């Protein structure tokens, strides 16, 4: 893989994150600095997701445990830095 394929892998990450999030009833919100993004929104992710950033993942709802696990796997797969916030 060439080093300029970063945006392509980022696009793949965004699509997979949104698709994974959409499988769950829980609300899944990504916090980056002081911005909050609904991860079910591909557009929101496109304007926010950069691999150098450290994110916080807030998950609330009936299937929150499963959602946290699935989202963590997707983030790790794309080497995105994140913390799942336990509230």
Digit-coded pLDDT (tens) for 20-76: 999 999 999 999 888 899 999 998 888 877 656 788 999 999 999 999 999 999 999
Give 6's pLDDT tier (boundaries 50, 70, 90).
Answer: low
Look at residue 7 and tell me whether its pLDDT is greater than 80: no
Burial class (CB in 10 A: 0-12, 13-18, 19+), 27: middle
Closest C-alpha among 63, 59, 60, 54 to residue 83: 54
Per-residue pLDDT at 4? 45
Q: Would you list the domain boundaries of the chain?
A: 5-84
Q: Is the pLDDT of residue 13 over 60?
A: yes
Domain 5-84, what fold?
3.30.1340
* pTM greater than 0.85: no
């Amino acid at each position: 893989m060439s080093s300029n394929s970063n945006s392509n892998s980022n696009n793949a990450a965004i699509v997979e994150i949104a698709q994974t999030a959409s499988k769950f009833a829980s609300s899944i919100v990504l916090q980056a600095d002081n911005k909050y993004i609904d991860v079910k929104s591909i557009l929101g992710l496109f304007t926010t997701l950069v691999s150098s950033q450290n994110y916080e993942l807030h998950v609330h709802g009936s299937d929150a445990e499963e959602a946290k696990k699935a989202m963590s796997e997707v983030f790790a797969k794309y080497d995105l830095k994140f913390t799942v916030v336990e509230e």
